[in-house]
Each structure stands twice: as structure tokens, then as C-alpha cells.
Structure 1
Amino acid sequence: MSNWTIIAAGKKAKQQASIPKKWLLSNLPPQSTLNVSEFPDGCGLLTDEELQIIRADTDILLSKLAQGEWSSLNVTTAFYKRAIIAQQLTNCLTEIFVERALARAAELDEHLKKTGKPIGPLHGLPISLKDQINIKGLESCMGYVSWIGKVAEENAVLVDILEAAGAVPFVKTNVPQTLMWAETFNHVFGRTCNPYNCSLTSGGSSGGEGALVSLRGSPLGVGSDIGGSVRIPSAFCGIYGLRPCYGRIPYAGCVNSMEGQDSVPSVLGPLSNDLAGIKHFMKAVIDVKPWLKDPLVVRKRWSEEEYSLVDHGYGKNLCFAILWDDGDNVPHPPILRGLGTVKKALEAAGHRVIDWKPLKHVEICKTLVNLWGSASAEDYQAVAMLTGEPIIASMVPEQHAALAENISYRGNETASAYQLWQIQKKKRDLREEYLRHWEATVEITGTGRPVDAIISPIAPHTATPHGMNKNGNYTMVWNLLDYAALVIPVSKVDQVVDARRPRHEFYNDTDRMHWESYNPETYKDAPVAVQLVGRTLEEEAVIAMSEIVDNALKSSKARL
């Protein structure tokens, strides 16, 4: 074994030792069982009361915690046990610190008992955090062997805010090495799989969060998104997830790749099994004026006016636009069906739905990749060289060993300052052009306003087999434009309804190969989702319009 493999094995062993032995299961499903989503309920580890806690939505959890009907100790214990079940099924966790989290929960219970008042709006709620979010006294190795042993000296600003709001950080979750992957695998903790089909990816780079929240191992998680890293795992794992705009949520104190690249910043965003969790998180964080704790945060208070859709007809007779494809790669049948389902539900609810014409989406995504690639190879190598660990160049399982000895670093050759300025100028021009494109829709909506929001795929497919998630264009485009976007689950792949279909015209060879490679059996049980896209710094309105879409979908299903 090389030095880096010894270090990695030691870290993994330490993680395993941090799990209470009484929570380790002997009745795990066999590897041939692909869908493990229902296993936790019947595995025998959780009591009836704990199952009731796990199944409660965020509003009920917070209400019962604030009133003392459920203790934070009991709620945190229930979710911790569930998180450990999720870990054994999908390998979704990194840092496990049971005693510390339970002690924090007990302190919150004591405070409520003595004062009769909760600490804050998230009182007693367990919250999971993507591995890069620093918690004082714990490691944030972020999938790098080289960062094992680097203990955080301070909390990230967001952790301080969450704790002040009464939350209980209780686990950290798995990521890909470098973070710059739409899948989740690293040399330290290994691969995270999808709970609905373990042969498929959970997505990335917040793939650990996606799998954990999906299995209800956490009521509310926090990931990050620079090109889709909150939305892709949310969609692939069938949960809700928000990509806020630059500077809306404090990022200070987190570790990251490509620090100093601020042309398209990474942003932190919530993942949850319900939209209430998304709203509670955003409001709790923004209400404490995070711009006073992180200088890069936008000075913008939570706006109930915007949440009431004051700029969107107060939510009446909205006009949504559907992006059926991006002009480069047509989505698979389940995704097209999902978009159609949303359209029917919205029209039945009294809203108008038109088609969205994509503008230069391929060019926008190429510009984003050029910004990332301007020095990314140097960045990855500077970290990896400390231990000699190989930079992962493929997420395909059987290719890891083959590439370990002959690695090709990801990213473009280093750009000069002048070259980078030209790319940044291109970004600016594209954003200006897209704004005009959106504003021009006022002529066709019939509402007197431009399109209220866009309904878009998250990817041209559902969760893919490991190593095959290679198209991020449907999420990356909104990162460069800095539009807020929220994932809404719709359904799951149906083997009969989502059968292969003939198609005779294609945008390009890649589009043809993508379409012809589709096999519904490969994607069995995979969740289907869409994203609702609003404009820059429109998080409140995006949440409210997502609630309208979600309610329309639920009403539509109730009528079936």
C-alpha cells in the first residue's frame, strides 16, 4: 500500500468506529436489491415513535420541538439512527459525531424547559451539512486524502447562524474529490449510490446529502452548487433542493476547490423532503442579517412581499414557460413526460404554459467551463501532490485502477489574466442578452408581464449508471446567468409508459447517441423531477411559485 492509501484507510476505519455498534445492522438487504428506499422503515432499528418523527414534515417537526411535545434529544436520536441506516445502505456520510450532537440537543431541551422559549426558528432540528462546511473541531477533507487531519479551528459562518437559530448539526455528508463532479466518489470514503436504484448515481457534488435526505436520514440538509451540485442530487434522489443566487447565503469559512475563482461563485443551498424545509432554512438564515457576518453576502432582507408574489400577479393566472430541450440534447422520455405532467397540472390549476426558446445555452455552458478551467488543473494538483494521491479522472468504477498510474488532470491549460478577462466579458454579454430575451416575452404571455418562471429539466436523463452522468448543461446555464432555481419531484420512471420511442431528427451525433442509448430498464425506479427557474435574487418568489407548481401536481395526482 502506498502512503496515501494507508492514510485513507485509517480515516475510513476511524469513521466506522464512530458508529454506535448497536446501530449496525445484520439484516441489510443483499447487493442484488437495487431499490433500498423502503428498507429503513422495516429494518427494526427505529421505534414506532421514532418512525413517527422521521415521517413528519418540517412544519410539524418545528412546531412540536418549539412546544416541547417532542424533545430535541429524541428527534436527533431518531434522525441519527436513520442516518446510520442510510450510511449502511448508500455510503452517504463522512463525519459522524453522535455524542457531541446529542449533548447539543440535550442543552436545547434544558433551555426550553427552563425558559419556556425555543432558542430560535430552527430550535432542536437536526441538520446535515455537506463535508466542505466547517464545524469547529472536525475535519473537512472534502474527498482529498491530503486534507485528512486538518481540523477546523472555527465554524463556518453558516454553522454559527444555524446553531444560533437552534439547529443541531449532526452529520457531514459525502462529496467527490475536488467537488467538481456531478457524481460522488473519492479515495477516502468511496462511492455514494442512489437509494432508489443502487446501480445509479446519487448525483454530485452534494450526492451524500441527496441520498441521506431522500432516505429521511435528515430533515434538512445543506449542499453547495456551482454547476448543479444541489439540484442534480435533489433531482436524482427525488427531493426538493434550492440553488440560491450569488451572495444570498453566507459561504465564509467553508473549504472549497478553485478558491479565488469568483466569476461564477459556488453557493450554499438547502435540500429537504418538503418545500417548507427550504423556506424555513432560507428565512432563518436571512433574518439574522448574514451580510454583517460575511462581506460577500448581499444586503437583502427576507421579503414577505416577494414571497406573496407581488411582482407576479400575486400568484394568480401565472404564465410559465417550459424548456423542452436546450437545442443541443433532447431529454429522455421520462423527463419529457415529467415536463408534460407539470404542464397539464398547471393548466388545470388555471395558469398559462408556453414554450421557452433557449438562447445560446451551449455557448453559455462553454463559457462557464472556460471560467472553471482557467486554472483548475493547477488547483487540484496543488492539493493532491501533498500525499501523491491520484486526481480522479473518471467516475466509472472499473476505470479507477487503470487511471491511477496514468492520470490526466482535469481542466484546461492555465489562462492568462487577459484571456480570463475576455471570458468574463463574454459572461457579462451573455447575461445582458438573456435578460433582454426574457423581458421580450412580455409580448406573448398575455399577462402584461414577462414569463413568471421557466420550468426546465435538471438533466437530459434521470440518475445514470455510475460514471455516466456527463451532461450538466441543464443546470450550468442558470449558474452563469445567476438565476435562482428550485427542484420539484414529479414522479418515477415507469417501465411501460416511458418506453423507447423512435426519433428521426437529431441536433448532433451526441444527441443521437444519447437518445438511442436509452433503455427504461436501466433507469428502473429512478425519480423524475423538474426545476423552476426564476430571476436573479428572486429566491422568495421562486419558493412561492414552486409551492404553486407542487400543489398543482399534488392536486392533479389526487384527481387521478
Structure 2
Amino acid sequence: MLNDGIVQPHPPITRALKNLASRLATLLNVTMVDWIPYLHDEAWAIISSLYFTDGGAEDAATMAESGEAWRPLTKWIIKENPCVKRLKMPELWYWLEEREAYRSEYAKVWNDTATAVDQHTGELNGTVDVILCPVGPGVAPRHDTAKYWSYTSQWNLLDYPAVSFPVDKVDKRLDKKEQRSEFLGPLDQENWRLWDPEVFDGLPISLQMVGRRFDDEKLLAVLEYISDRIGLPIALFP
């Protein structure tokens, strides 16, 4: 999954993802298919509505006891997030029902996404073992700028296990900031403004693999299998 349909990751993330996918396909003969993200914008609406179901009142009260000022990102997620509200019981039930419906829909998408080619019919069949995707829209962000969480909160909502791992490092010679005239939306444009190859040069690039519910051990076994055979991080190799 190169992107979630909402925010395009910064150049080093995409480069590392494509590079690793290519190595898996050529060195290990792993069948790769494009994962089409299913309504990831709706996932954020659901999970951010369930983060602080009291409207953040208890958190605000605890922070008030300290006498310290609110940190920018704390203020952003609680006070400036339009989805954070004190929910009445019917409203809470509504969002919990939305969560369970979305989980069912995503499970169907996973079941319907085929991977292998049938030798007789030439059609795709088989099942997806894991999803290889970004772990965030960029590498380690500057302070107070990490406002896009959906590459991880997506799987939190679905209750899917995920594991992040180092793959490469930023190279300002390869990860240049190209001019973009088209964006997936305002969040994509905001994220693109944060990219500066000079600032992030040399920082580690991590990706993540995601499995289905209760497939934690399988997920770690897949990562171990890949690491043993192609070596990670790739940047350590000539």
C-alpha cells in the first residue's frame, strides 16, 4: 500500500517501500499485489470520535492539576479536533456500531483481495498474508508537527497487529522535493509542506507490516523470514 488515499508519504518512504517490494518479488519470489485502501478517511472519523468520549474532560482536569500549559499537539487533538465531543450514550453506541461495521467491511475487502495466479485459468486467487505499508507520512517529524496518525490509527481501529521495522535512511540526493501541482487533498498538501530533504537527511526510514486479528505470531514470523533472507536495514548493504 503506497498510500492511504488521503496523504501521500514523503519521497524516502515511497522509495523504501518500492525498493523493498521489488526485492521481495525478485529475491524471494513473493507475490505482490496493490492494496487498495478502503475508506481510510472514515476510519479516522470513527476512531477520533472514540478517543475522548467525555470530550476530553478528564484529561483536561488532570492536566489542570499540574498547572502546566497545554502542549500544541495535545491542544490540537482534544480542543481543535471537531470529532472530540462529550458523547451521550446513544451517540457512543452509534460510533461503536460504526466501528464494528467498518471492521466487518474491511475484513471482507481482505478476503476478496486475491494474490496468486491460477495456472489453469490465469486468474488471481489465494489470500493476502500481510500488508506492507508506510508506518507514517514521513520519517521522524519535527516537534509539534505530527498531526497525521492514520497510518497507525487505521490498524488500531481494526484491531490488526502491526510491526514497524527499519529499512533504509534518507538520502537528500535521492529524496528530492519535487514540485507537485496535484494533491490528494488539504491534508496531503499540508504534509508535503513539511518535507525538507536537507533537514531530514540521514534519518532512518521505517515501514510496517500489518496482519489480521490474532495473527501476531505469524506477522513476526514473516518479518523474521524476510530479515534473514534479504537483510534489513537495506541501507547497510552496498
Equivalence for 2:169: 492
Q: 2:6 aligns with which of 317, 328, 336?
A: 328
Equivalence for 1:275: none
Equivalence for 2:43: 364
Q: CA deviation at 1:503?
A: 2.9
Equivalence for 1:125: none
Is 1:343–1:353's contact at 8 Å kept on the other side of the alignment?
Answer: yes
User: Distance in 1 between the 2:135 and 2:236 partners?
Assistant: 25
Q: CA deviation at 1:438?
A: 0.4
User: Distance in 1 between the 2:48 and 2:164 partners?
Assistant: 23
Q: Which amino acid in the other structure matches residue 368 of structure 1?
A: I
Equivalence for 1:449: 126
Equivalence for 1:354: 33
Q: CA deviation at 1:506?
A: 1.2
Q: CA deviation at 1:509?
A: 2.4
Q: CA deviation at 1:342?
A: 1.1
Structure 1 stretches lacking a partner, 5+ long:
1-322, 397-402
Q: Deviations over 1:86-120 (max 9, x none)?
A: xxxxxxxxxxxxxxxxxxxxxxxxxxxxxxxxxxx
Q: Deviations over 1:509-555 (max 9, x none)?
A: 23123224421012122110110100001011000111123234418
Q: Deviations over 1:170-224 (max 9, x none)?
A: xxxxxxxxxxxxxxxxxxxxxxxxxxxxxxxxxxxxxxxxxxxxxxxxxxxxxxx
Q: CA deviation at 1:370?
A: 0.2
User: Distance in 1 between the 2:164 and 2:117 partners?
Assistant: 26
Secondary structure in structure 1 of the residue aligned to 2:198: coil
Identity of aligned residues (%): 27
Tell which structure's C-alpha radius of gyration is larger: 1
User: Distance in 2 between the 1:547 and 1:463 partners?
Assistant: 24
Residues 450, 426 of structure 1: CA spacing in aligned structure 2 closer, same or farther, 3 A cutoff? same
1:59-78 correspondence runs (5 A): none
1:192-271 correspondence runs (5 A): none
Secondary structure in structure 1 of the residue aligned to 2:224: helix
Q: CA deviation at 1:392?
A: 2.0
Is 1:376–1:410's contact at 8 Å kept on the other side of the alignment?
Answer: no
Equivalence for 1:502: 179
Equivalence for 2:90: 418
Equivalence for 2:145: 468
Secondary structure in structure 2 of the residue aligned to 1:355: coil
Q: 1:431 aligns with which of 103, 106, 126?
A: 103
Aligned-residue Cα RMSD (Å) equals 2.3
Equivalence for 1:100: none
Q: Which has the higher contact order (CA 8 A, sep 6+)?
A: 2
User: Distance in 2 between the 1:545 and 1:434 partners?
Assistant: 22
Q: CA deviation at 1:451?
A: 1.0
Q: Deviations over 1:294-314 (max 9, x none)?
A: xxxxxxxxxxxxxxxxxxxxx
Q: 2:18 aligns with which of 340, 344, 368?
A: 340
Q: 1:514 aligns with which of 157, 174, 191?
A: 191
Equivalence for 2:122: none
More helix by share: 2
Q: CA deviation at 1:391?
A: 5.6
Equivalence for 2:56: 377
